[in-house]
Amino acid sequence: MIPINKPQIDENERQEILKVLDEGILTSASNSGGKRVQDFEGLLADFLHVKHAIAVNSGTAALNASILAAGIKETDEILIPSFTFVATANSVACTGAKPVFVDIEKDTYTMNPLDLENKITKKTRAIIPVHLYGHPAKMDEILEIARKHSLIVIEDACQSLGSLYNGKQTGTIGQMGCFSMYASKVLTSGEGGAITTNSDEYAEILRMIRNHGMVHGYDTRIIGFNMRLPEISAAIAKTQMKKIRLMLEKRTVNAKKLGELLNDRIARKYLVLPQDDKRVKYNWYLYTVALINNRDRVKKFLNDNGIGATVYYDPPVHQTPYYSKFHNGKLEVTEWASKTVLSLPVHPSVTENDIELIASKVVEAIKS
């Protein structure tokens, strides 16, 4: 089976883990984090060209901490897409705020700025655009709406490390950006996350939030939790940062080749391929297509032939049992996407022969 994603772990990560075990310092409750946490934060900040990177223990923690740092309170509303992993909504709901679901656009599967502005009320405090599958959301339009209505923008960049929007790294465009280092992501630490910001004030608050609100010992100053990234996880992430450019380059090569092979005359009638936009550069976390019909049949055919094609996200968040109570209307494009999208593997372990097999089987499934 060609998996949908695979962590790129080699001897360098193993050696860094062994060093942590030999030293015996597995974590740190200091405000600045452990040695390897600090090393990773520095490498990430340099890569993204951002002032602060604050490591935490998951992408969900990154989102939750950012919402808390922004001062969001109960009864506040936060605008998010429904076409995303549920962590985006959970991070809002667990603060007591209300997630308000915004429809997406077909070309990027990201937040539709027109529907976004239509959903703003007097209770709206923030916008969380999600750069889904590595596709950057339309940040120019979103930032203009945010400025117009004095709203905070927290980017959910959990899937978009390395994606660019107008030459800027995603996660560095809003007030805060959130990243995930889950096992399937472009860069992994097993479990882990990070928040980026150019604000000294937000950075100080975020470091307290991840460590029970403390600065020096038992001096809790604000509400906080244990969101610390352990040193073993940081050791993996630190080592991964040293090869991030090579991993992104391989994804780009694979995605370009797959796109060329899928540009088949018959297949084009039934497939919607990822669209280029002069404002963006994708990290190709996932190569996601939409099928005009028979998505589930094509997925089964590919799985039966050893290709880990996967559907994200069906159902969308607003149609899940818990979140259906937050939303009564339809999200037309979101619901279309949930029934048509199919993600294909292009991670660095995918070979040229694998790409040829994936493309040929997709075309075979469509033609049959």
Walk me through the domains of the chain, giving residue ranges and CATH numbers.
11-241 (3.40.640.10), 244-367 (3.90.1150.10)
Q: What is the largest CA-CA distance in the chain?
A: 66
User: Pairing between strand 193-197 and 176-180?
Assistant: antiparallel
Residue pointed to by tokens 């655009």: 129
Residue 287 bridge partners (DSSP): 344
| Tens of pLDDT, residue by residue, the chain (368 residues) | 999 999 999 999 999 999 999 999 999 999 999 999 999 999 999 999 999 999 999 999 999 999 999 999 999 999 999 999 999 999 999 999 999 999 999 999 999 999 999 999 999 999 999 999 999 999 999 999 999 999 999 999 999 999 999 999 999 999 999 999 999 999 999 999 999 999 999 999 999 999 999 999 999 999 999 999 999 999 999 999 999 999 999 999 999 999 999 987 667 788 999 987 889 999 999 999 999 889 999 999 999 999 999 999 999 999 999 999 887 788 999 999 999 999 999 999 999 999 999 999 999 999 88
Residue pointed to by tokens 């097999």: 357
pTM beyond 0.95, yes or no: yes
**Angle, CA 58 vertex, CA 194 and CA 24 arms, to 5°:** 90
Give me the DSSP letters along 219-259.
---S---B-PPPHHHHHHHHHHHTTHHHHHHHHHHHHHHHH
| Contact of 156 with 84, CB cutoff 8 Å | yes
The sheet with strand 280-281 has its strands ordered as 168-169, 164-165, 280-281
Query: What integer pLDDT is reported at residue 268 of this predicted model?
Result: 76
Query: What integer pLDDT is reported at residue 266 of this predicted model?
Result: 67
User: Pairing between strand 287-291 and 271-272?
Assistant: antiparallel
Give me the DSSP letters along 314-349.
SS-GGGSTTGGGG--S--HHHHHHHHHEEEE--STT
**Angle, CA 317 vertex, CA 179 and CA 74 arms, to 5°:** 75
For the purposes of burial, counting CB atoms within 10 Å of the CB of 54, is it exposed (0-12), middle (13-18) or buried (19 or more)? buried
The single-letter code of the amino acid at 126 is A
Q: Using CA atoms, how far apart are residues 263 and 248, in angstroms rounded to an integer?
A: 23
